[in-house]
A and B are shown apart, each in its own frame.
Chain A
Amino acid sequence: MHLDSAQERMMRGEVGEAKQFAIEIATKVGDAVGADELVPIKSAHVLAHYSSLHDAGVEVLERFADSGGKFAVPTSVDPASIDLQHWRSFGITEDYARQQFRLCDAYAKMGGMRCWTCVQYQVCNFPKEGETVAWAESSAVVFANSVMGCKSNKITAGMDVACAVLGLTPRFGMLLEENRRAGVVFRLGLKGLTDLDYRSIGYFIGRGAGARVPVLSGLPPSVTSDQIKHLGAGAAAAGPVTMIHFPGITPGSKTVIDATGGETVEEIEITRSALGEIEADLNQFSGLPDLVAFGVPHLSVNELGELAGMLEGRKLRKGVRMYAYTSSQAYDMAERTGIAEAIEQSGARLSHSTDAEISPLKALGFRTVLTNSAKLAEIVSSEGEVKVGYATQREIIERVTG
């Protein structure tokens, strides 16, 4: 990989230890994937939650922070493994919280935005169309490439911080126009889509696309950015998908032909029975759960308002917890507008700055989780310790409230 003179100086350690460590990581990864150079980024999004970073990740982030590392571009952060405000009341132990707060401190020391959300694009990180970014969080990468028209690879833990410290990322993969062209068409002819359908459609695409970039035609014009957020999250959970062309939504792709560049590619019909198979696969039980989890990825304040409406006049059944996960910013707005109170009157709780899939669910005593998130269902069942149920938000509320 070609380095310019400023980058050579970083490599020699003349610009500090943190930049040297960062550029070593970035160039080794760049060389591995055939990148020709490091290019500037406009923003970064990094991971700093203990459940997935483990002790190794604490070592890495502290090494960056303690050697003087500072983020060179606006940098946001994924949710923590605990609600940073109310963690005690959620049953988190001191020892667990301590490791999470080590990550929080290291991240803050480096100058990151303390948003603690997986939907930074709805909260605080707003690059423009055409800009190159280096984001972790698989669902956010799909949103950046597919809706915002940004260019991002799915930057994974360790490399995310390196790119943020450098303000640079190796040029390869989704940064190159030729790799962004759609290589498989998914056709949707179904009407009256539920919240669960959007997630299952995403999951189906993620499974079927393999390494190809998919294009999805047939979404209703009324589709919301929240629905696309959940669709993309389902896709990224099921496979290596980093972008989905949505004709009419994705910048540069007004039509399927724009997305494929006119090439003839495989076409796959999304049928009701295919979605039924996804639901059956993700749904492992049908009884009353220990926990209902909404908000993987984080719910927007609009979605919290909808949830409050559905819970009106209902009470959670005994023995069932219901947590709605959101960003700290949406939480604040929900608090100020009465939405939080409306949700909590049912016995449900709002939780911010964390999310279900990165919480220590088993350690908190949950053996069964019910959700409308394909991403959460995939992750929880992958770990194999907690059983997961998968149903629409309406079905779930009817099942667990009186």
Chain B
Amino acid sequence: MTTTRIPWRNRATRFAETVTTPLLPADYLDLFAPLRSGAALRGRIEEVRPETADAATIVIRPGADWAGHTPGQFVRIGIDVDGVRLWRAYSLTHGPRTDGRISITVKAVPEGVVSNHLVHASRPGTLVHLEQAAGEFVLPADGGKLLFVTAGSGITPVIGMLRNLFPVTDSGVVRLPRSDAFDITVVHVAPTEPDSIFLDDLRALADVGAIELLARYDDVHGVLDVADLSALVPDVDARISYACGPAGLLDALADHHERRGLDLFTEQFRSTNRVVGEGGAVTFNNATIVEADGATSLLDAGESAGQLMPSGCRMGVCFGCVIPLKEGSVRDLRNGEVTTAEPGDGVKIQTCISAAAGPCHLDI
């Protein structure tokens, strides 16, 4: 049966393409059913629920091709902010839900263009672009004694795992058989108590003894010193640690655990702050690296290093030199505007009017 169906489908697809050329049938179908099977993966925001003053949970109906996720994993979301599509990774804050929807919880960070937009300006009905869930920050299959150290919005992947182990229903927390093998302690750090997202959820779990919760607030307890961890969690040496939070905390924990010979799994989303400067090392796919100053176009820099680059008018008019910037920052030589790409973004830039503004990697 399948052997005859596939060629039939191929023929049908090819015929449909002769009807719609130079566009694809999908370009027309997207007008009416953007979440259908076979479409580029998208989702529709169905609910924006405030969690704290500067955090919200965004509930999304993913497209039909969403392949599911394991609690603790993250999803990359592309959303249009001021008309510009920007991509960010967020932890999925529910286990797989029976209604098929997914959720992320976002904390608006200062200068955070996407997080502020999602928390304060996103509206139900908006289409967003998705990638399939990814990430290795998941629970061990066979259970064990675990320690979670989370700071601020670093709680989000952990809440996804905990909700999957201990679903909360109208009649309270349910302890599923699969949770029996886990012994979990959560050290959660936040600047203040009202700033803590998911604190109520954590407390509900602690109240029924599902987890042991140690909440620490900077304004009450002072900033957590990793050296005090063994005082806070006496059996830390017997636990496998999972940590999610800012780079400083993760680095300190890695140091601490390495000295004690302990396992540590970490997850970090906030990119290390990029140094935007004048000029920088420009890397190409064949590992060529050229030092370019802040006044030299990437096109000139690449060509002088012997790279074969697409080019055209060489004055910013024709868009014949556009290639993806894999990572790094570049500056528009005409108006000084800086464009930054994180891994996975592939922001297309005009190399003839862009100069390095720090290290950058061109996808060519």
Partners in one complex: no
